[in-house]
Amino acid sequence: MSRILKNRRLVEDDWRLIEDGAPVCAGEKIIVPLRRWREERSALLASAAAVGVLLPNTEDVEALWPEIADRPLIALQFPVFGDGRALSQAVVLRRRLGFGGELRALGDILRDQVFGLQRCGFDAIVPRADQDLEDCLRALAEFSVVYQPAADGLETVWQKRRSATPA
């Protein structure tokens, strides 16, 4: 089992990502690609303890919502570190659709990106294998001030200014 960032801590990951058609062991928590979820839904639910789905970053999460709304975990992908499409997917899932399960970021993720990922609503981040996890954890607190309201609920500079000047 490997360690990942979850809710601002380093934890042992108890989910297994199965990207191909490999068999599922009874009672494990698994993450499968959208396609497999669609094709084997009831079989997966019958054997696994929990089933999360992995979405390509080109999917429209709003259109998919009826199929994924009840999932305990949705994993989004960063195929290369410069590709920020899943950031918008995350924000829409959290802020528009109200997804309350685990939102997990996977892929080519650098230490320098985890702060932004957290802001967009990812509560679980799996940085690229070569990244120093302790350093990633520190990077989650790299900024103490933010301008934009986002999915992390941090108080923004604007909110602070509003409370400083009575309306």
Partner 1 sequence: MYRYDPYDRQLVAERVAQFRDQTRRYLEGRLTEDEFRALRLRNGLYQQRFAPMLRISVPYGLLESAQLRKMAHIVREYDKGYAHFTTRQNIQLNWPELPRVPDLLAELAEVQLHGIQACGNDTRNITCDYLAGVAADEWVDPRPYCELLRQFTALHPEFLWLPRKFKFGFSGARVDRAATRTNDVAVHVLARDDGAIGFRFFVGGGLGRQPMLGRVTNEFVPEEDLLIYAAAILRTFNRFGRRDNIHKARIKIVLKEWGYERFRAAIEDEYAKIRASGEGADLKLRPEDLERMRAHFTAPAYRPAAEVAADWSAAARREPRFAAWLKRNVRDHKVPGYRVVFVSLKAPGEPPGDCSAEQFAGLAEITARYSFGELRSTYDQNLVLADVAERDLYELWRELDRLALATPNIGLVTDLVCCPGLDFCSLANAGSIGVAREIFERFDSLEAQYEIGEIRITMSGCMNGCGHHSVGHIGILGVDKHGEEWYQVTLGGSAGHDAALGERTGRALARGEIADGVERLIRAYLEFRLDEDETFLECYRRVGLEPFKQRLYAADAAVAAAA
- Binding residues for partner 1 (CB under 8 A): 81-85, 87-88, 91, 95-96, 110, 112-113, 115-117, 119-120, 142-150, 157-158, 160-162, 165, 167
For the CB of residue 142, give the shortest distance to partner 1 in the complex, in Å.
6
Mode of pairing for the β-strands spanning 102-107 and 124-126: parallel
Residues 5 and 111: beta-carbon distance below 8 Å: no
> For partner 1, which is the closer residue by CB, 50 or 131?
131
> For partner 1, which is the closer residue by CB, 27 or 153?
153
Distance between CA atoms of residues 49 and 143, nearest Å: 37
Q: Which two tokens stand for residue 55?
A: 């979405």
For the CB of residue 108, give the shortest distance to partner 1 in the complex, in Å.
10
For the CB of residue 146, give the shortest distance to partner 1 in the complex, in Å.
8
Q: Which two tokens stand for residue 94?
A: 């959290």
DSSP 97-141: S---SEEEEEES--GGGHHHHHHTT-SEEE--TTS-HHHHHHHTT
SS3 55: strand
Listed in sequence order, the residues at least 6 apart from 53 whose beta carbon sits closer than 8 Å to its beta carbon are 31, 32, 33, 34, 37, 68, 71, 73, 74, 75
For the CB of residue 15, give the shortest distance to partner 1 in the complex, in Å.
24
For the CB of residue 42, give the shortest distance to partner 1 in the complex, in Å.
32
> For partner 1, which is the closer residue by CB, 36 or 119?
119
> For partner 1, which is the closer residue by CB, 44 or 120?
120
